[in-house]
Structure 1
Amino acid sequence: MNTFKYIAATALLAGTASPAFAEADTFRPYIEGQLGLAIPSDVDYNSDAVDAALGTPVDAEASIDNALSFGAELGLTLDPVLPGLRTSLGISHRSSDFDDVDVTLGGASTTFDADGDISLTSLQGNLYYDIDLDSRFTPFVGGGLGVTWAKVDSPDSTVPSFDDTDASFSWSLMTGLNFEVTDNILVGGKYRFTRINGFDLEGTIDPANLGFAGPSLDSSYETDAVSLHEVLFTVAYRF
């Protein structure tokens, strides 16, 4: 009888010390890869110097194509101190084409072929909250702050033409769902909305493209804020 009680007590203690309970008291680093679709907003821009030189307002809007988005995050769960929270540092990249630029000059609009490229690379710190459903499925919400670099390249025939890079503050809101394949491997889906403050880019206008005589005008162009909608497939390894 005493032997039976000893075995039963040992089994009970072993069960309460299982890894499933111990993991809640440990910080767990993880790495996540992301691949999906980015849907950018159109980009509006103008230059006060060009407006003054031509004697009339010149506004431009570039139509940006959808793009492949890929990136990675290195993160850490914070369960021992802040249950459900995790933090990460992420980098993401998108490269798009813009084929048309609509230029409004003195109230009249003209569309120019652009054949340009724009790439957006973001470095961002993130904070997520995982909603515990006591299952392999875990929905989450999150937000992030960081910086985004834009590189814009377009030929001389574009109004204006660009070959410049600039950086700007950006922020994101995220939501999604992870599925725990094993204790270490998770797959999931993520929606991310990103808002990027305007860029300041150096560009050149050939007045002949607008029906004016005179030398080329080099100037700084300010863009409005840029928005990105991204749908991403994710794979993570949790150490």
Structure 2
Amino acid sequence: MKLFTKLFAAAAVAASAVASPAMAGPYVNLGIGTGFGTDVDGDVNGIDFDVDARTTFGGGVGLGYDFGNIRLEGKVTLSTADVDSVTVGGVKYDVDESGYGRGIGLDLEYDFNNDSKFTPYVGVGVGTSWADDADDNAYGFSAIAGVAYAASEKIDLYGEIAYEFTPEQEIDGIDYDSNGEFGATVGIRFAF
């Protein structure tokens, strides 16, 4: 019976540490970043195309909850992208087009808490976005790795690298192949 009591007590202490108000709670996140470039392939009415593009600016606001080592965050984003070239039917055309998009997403992240002010973390996300010239939305997934710095008890500064992946899908009658882009973000989190 003593073993059961000790295990119960240890579990209660561990649970209270995860749910401790000093470690957990809501926060607001502000971030800005950029992408490193991508090729978007697909076809329109059976004619193949390839687009060379890059997310030039991405910014967002998130509202999250820190459960201790695990954080769950919803966010809204705004991004701009530049298209440098389009290849259609084997012929490359240099273009100088820009556009913007809006999105919403949900991230689940795991913090590797330690005794220093630096906390590495990893995460995954899912989201959907709308381009300024599209009627349909696109959906995608992300894998995230970053480091947060505890600037104070209520403020974290962070930097992260993410790979954002969009699976094959049809948007406004255009068939897009799967594609992805690496990007970097810096930001600040304010705890309540």
TM range (shorter): 0.7 to 0.9
For residue 168 of structure 1, report the CA deviation from its aligned partner.
Answer: 2.2
In structure 2, relative to structure 1, the CA distance for the partners of 1:236 and 1:75 (3 Å cut) is: same
Query: Is 1:238 aligned to residue 191 of structure 2?
Result: yes
The whole-number CA distance in structure 2 between the counterparts of 1:194 and 1:174 is: 9
Of the three residues 119, 131, 151, the one matched with 2:100 is: 119
Larger CA Rg, structure 1 vs 2: 1
Of the three residues 42, 52, 76, the one matched with 1:91 is: 76
Query: Is 1:136 aligned to residue 117 of structure 2?
Result: yes
User: Could you say what the CA RMSD is over the residues aligned between the two structures, in angstroms?
Assistant: 2.2
Deviations 1:95-154 (A, max 9, x none): 1121321112xxxx21224333343433111111111111211111111122122334xx
Query: Is 1:228 aligned to residue 181 of structure 2?
Result: yes
> How many pairs align?
175
The AA in structure 2 aligned to 1:85 is: I
Tell me which residue corresponds to 2:87: 102
In structure 2, relative to structure 1, the CA distance for the partners of 1:132 and 1:99 (3 Å cut) is: closer
Maintained 8 Å contact 1:167/1:199: no
User: Which one has the bigger strand percentage?
Assistant: 2
The whole-number CA distance in structure 2 between the counterparts of 1:23 and 1:112 is: 56
In structure 2, relative to structure 1, the CA distance for the partners of 1:91 and 1:39 (3 Å cut) is: farther
TM-score calculated relative to the size of structure 2: 0.81
In structure 2, relative to structure 1, the CA distance for the partners of 1:112 and 1:138 (3 Å cut) is: same
Query: Is 1:73 aligned to residue 58 of structure 2?
Result: no
User: Which one has the bigger helix percentage?
Assistant: 1
The whole-number CA distance in structure 2 between the counterparts of 1:132 and 1:149 is: 36
1:155-234 matches, cutoff 5 A = 164-202=134-172, 220-234=173-187
TM-score calculated relative to the size of structure 1: 0.66
User: Bigger shift: 167-176 or 91-100?
Assistant: 91-100
Structure 2 residues not aligned, in runs of 5+ = 1-15
User: Identity over the aligned pairs, expressed in percent?
Assistant: 23
Maintained 8 Å contact 2:32/2:186: yes
